[in-house]
Amino acid sequence: MKEGMIAVNFTLPDATGKPITLSAFQGKTVILVFYPGDFTAVCTKQLCDYRDKLLLPKERYQVLGINANSEESHKKFQEEYSLPYPLLSDPEKKVCKQFGMTTFGMVSRGVVIIDPEGKIRKMEKVLPILRPSAERIREMLRDEGLL
């Protein structure tokens, strides 16, 4: 997948096992957050930063966290840190690979912004030790006229 393309539809289970389908959010700006693992220092700071500072209206935006961890791991992680958005389990890394968010077989850290019509407007992959901040996501949304 590349910027400018229509995002491939996918369905992955959330922390409760409920299937979540990307196309269900058509009409909203979707922010896919790919991160290497639950309960790791950088990932925890990253997702808590979004919880505390991203603060986008749910009527217009949907954040979805994605990595290869199990639904059970996601459930514990989500509960422990009161994360207000779904965490999706991609154990085979199929969706991660489709969006170019793997490196050497591991899930990479990155953000994909999909506009309300399903078009990929921005893709940003970063080194594992770095993390896109809530402010960086807001900047990406502003740059694309989505904020």
pLDDT tens digits, residue range 120-131? 999 999 876 677
Domain of 118, in residue numbers: 11-142
> Is the pLDDT reported for residue 16 higher than 70?
yes
Q: What is the CATH number of the domain that holds 128?
A: 3.40.30.10
By percentage, how much of the chain surpasses pLDDT 90? 90
Number of domains in the chain: 1
pLDDT number for residue 109: 93
Domain assignment present for residue 1? The answer is no
pLDDT number for residue 132: 83
Domain assignment present for residue 124? The answer is yes
Cα–Cα distance measured from residue 31 to residue 66, given in angstroms and rounded to the nearest whole number = 11
Domain assignment present for residue 2? The answer is no
- pTM for this prediction: 0.94
Domain assignment present for residue 70? The answer is yes
pLDDT number for residue 131: 77
Domain assignment present for residue 65? The answer is yes
Domain assignment present for residue 49? The answer is yes
Model confidence at 147, pLDDT cuts 50, 70, 90, reads: confident
Domain assignment present for residue 147? The answer is no
Q: Is 43 a catalytic residue?
A: yes
Domain assignment present for residue 34? The answer is yes
| Residue of 30, 32, 43, 113 marked catalytic | 43
Among residues 118, 126, 140, the alpha carbon closest in space to that of 29 is found at 118
